[in-house]
A and B are shown apart, each in its own frame.
Chain A
Amino acid sequence: MADLSVLFAGVPFKNPIVPASGAFGYGREYEPFYPLSKLGGISCKGMTLRPQDGNPPPRVAETPAGMLNSVGLQNPGIDAFLRDEVPNLAQKNTVIIANVAGHTIEDCVEIARRLEGSAVDMIELNISCPNVKEGGVAFGVNPQMAHDITKAVREASSKPLMVKLSPNVTSITDIAQAVEAGGADAVSLINTLLGMRIDIHSRRPILHNNVGGLSGPAVFPVALRMVWQVAGAVKIPVCGMGGISTWEDAAEMLLAGASLLQIGAALFADPYAPIRILEGLEEYLDKNGIARVTDLVGQVKPY
């Protein structure tokens, strides 16, 4: 049996499969399907300092091989997260990743401060949400701002810090290097690609927010390319995500240089996707006599 465990930014994961922020809530809704302890970790729904209502519906549109969403970070706020969700998650024997999505540097710093002393294992700083009007992606498209917000949160927190990057940039390696210089312990990528659909009969965008984030198999090749580029440009570990829906996708993402994986849109077609991917990966490792899942990381042989 291959060793599936991963030490990622100093945090031990029993396996590299983590449901992605926004796709899995705080895990409760998936417990009827399988115990959360089967997962390497859970990246919780992105949270803001204060409760946030999110965008008006429709918030989702299907696309060829994917979907657009514009939830707009609806969440109950950091205090409700700490009070209502963390104690429950702490009993589930899986890594808890808090996804922090402030509107300002001060918000993010304050959220990080409030997470100190909690059972949260790791922070994922979201500087890439395309669906909110202020903050979010604004930090993620400018290297200097990405550096500054990372540095500020790094100084406010003792927890391992992963920064989630936007693909909606000219050079994602520049942003990755900026957050590395700012003190990030890891990067995760990609957040969704900004997209749009229009109803040709009403001439209205399908999403009430007009635009939204594209995810699903359609974005996988873009995500893979960006993970490969970033893994070659930084020394910190890379968490790969974006359209992973099969174990073969997961293996590709590991070979490209990711050592941790997040699964998002695939959950909607198949709530068992993380488990199925994990089992397929394990079988692949065993069949090929690969002792550790980490032996795959970055092992692509580029031309």
Chain B
Amino acid sequence: MSYRQGKYPILRKDNLAKNIYSLTLLCPEIAAETQAGQFAHLRIEGFALRRPISICEANPDAGTIRLVFEVRGEGTAELARLNENSLADLIAPLGKGFTLLDPPQKAVLIGGGIGVPPLLQAAKHYGANATAILGFRSASAVILTEDFAAAGADVRLCTDDGSMGQKGFVTTALEERLQMGKADLLCACGPAGMLRGVIALAEQYGLRCEVSLEERMGCGVGACLVCACRSVKDGREFYAHVCKDGPVFDAKEVVL
């Protein structure tokens, strides 16, 4: 456990799509410790609970991390009002991230909507050994595809309405990718329905699969036990906790 709490300056703020914002923060100690798939827990003035936001990128050389989030309610709306040069209060890096296999092992990263950002740091690790299958509702919701391409990943873009990239769900594109060649690991983040589809394909193809989950959260560090998710280990079901046991879980251990 090497997380810390502090207030860090926002170097850059971008509006990536409607209601989706990117914040780049200067926090060298956190950037140096962050692993792909971990999250930051942000305090928002006037709210009793922090908001967990996945860490999209960590750049230890520049001492920065990047957070991409969607405005979903009052808390994230307030978060979106933070501007460059103001301070963000965060606890990070938190939770367990994705397994990073050594090259030339190949990973397929599957993201849906706001489930896309947590996969970017893993894409940077895998580079050309990554296929990134990124799904969005429509062209106007598409984010980060250039970042995944810049990381070296083979990007397959899907939209539900076909307004950009391939029309249809990421699971269709994933099946096409798996028929073409081998993969050593699937990493997925997105809506529960999408995750179920990805896990089913992983089982069908006998592939190792990791999924990143979300749940309403309290302390963020594993003490308060509110962010429970149904899990299974050695045939016994129990409640694990997204903040400490996850957010990334082995697909064999989750009950969705």
Interface residues of A (CB under 8 A from B): 22-25, 28-33, 45, 53-63, 65-67, 69, 71, 74, 206, 216-217, 265, 267-272
The answer on a CB contact under 8 Å between A23 and B48 is no
Residues of B within 8 A of A69 (CB): 218, 224, 226
Does B202 touch A at the CB level, under 8 Å? Answer: no
How many interface residues does chain B have, given as a range? 20 to 34
The answer on a CB contact under 8 Å between B5 and A54 is no
Interface residues of B (CB under 8 A from A): 1-5, 43, 47-50, 75, 91, 215-230, 238-239, 244
Question: Provided the pairs A25-B224, A53-B239 are in contact, do residues A58 and B50 lie with their beta carbons within 8 angstroms?
Answer: no
Task: Name A's interface SS.
Answer: loop
The answer on a CB contact under 8 Å between A57 and B229 is yes
Can you give 15 A-B contacts (C-beta < 8 A)?
A22-B225, A28-B222, A29-B1, A29-B222, A29-B244, A32-B3, A54-B225, A54-B239, A57-B216, A57-B228, A58-B226, A60-B218, A60-B224, A61-B216, A271-B5
The answer on a CB contact under 8 Å between B223 and A24 is yes
A267-B221 Cα distance, complex, nearest whole Å: 11
The answer on a CB contact under 8 Å between A59 and B43 is no
The answer on a CB contact under 8 Å between A59 and B227 is yes
A54-B4 Cα distance, complex, nearest whole Å: 29
A29-B230 Cα distance, complex, nearest whole Å: 22
Chain A: CB-nearest residue to B91: A271
The answer on a CB contact under 8 Å between B49 and A269 is yes
Q: Which of A67, A265, A270 contacts B43 (CB 8 A)?
A: A270
Of A25, A45, A59, most B-chain CB atoms within 10 Å? A59
Give the distance to chain B from A250, nearest Cβ to Cβ, in Å. Answer: 18
Give the distance to chain A from B243, nearest Cβ to Cβ, in Å. Answer: 9
A25-B222 Cα distance, complex, nearest whole Å: 8
Chain A: CB-nearest residue to B237: A53
A25-B244 Cα distance, complex, nearest whole Å: 12
The answer on a CB contact under 8 Å between A62 and B215 is no
A29-B48 Cα distance, complex, nearest whole Å: 19
Give the distance to chain B from A112, nearest Cβ to Cβ, in Å. Answer: 23
Q: Which of A53, A58, A62, A267 contacts B219 (CB 8 A)?
A: A267
A113-B4 Cα distance, complex, nearest whole Å: 39
Give the distance to chain B from A26, nearest Cβ to Cβ, in Å. Answer: 8
The answer on a CB contact under 8 Å between A65 and B219 is no
The answer on a CB contact under 8 Å between A269 and B226 is no
The answer on a CB contact under 8 Å between A67 and B218 is yes
Residues of B within 8 A of A23 (CB): 219, 223-224
Residues of B within 8 A of A56 (CB): 228, 230
Give the distance to chain B from A126, nearest Cβ to Cβ, in Å. Answer: 15
The answer on a CB contact under 8 Å between B221 and A29 is yes
Q: Which of B1, B75, B218 contacts A268 (CB 8 A)?
A: B218
Of B2, B75, B222, most A-chain CB atoms within 10 Å? B222
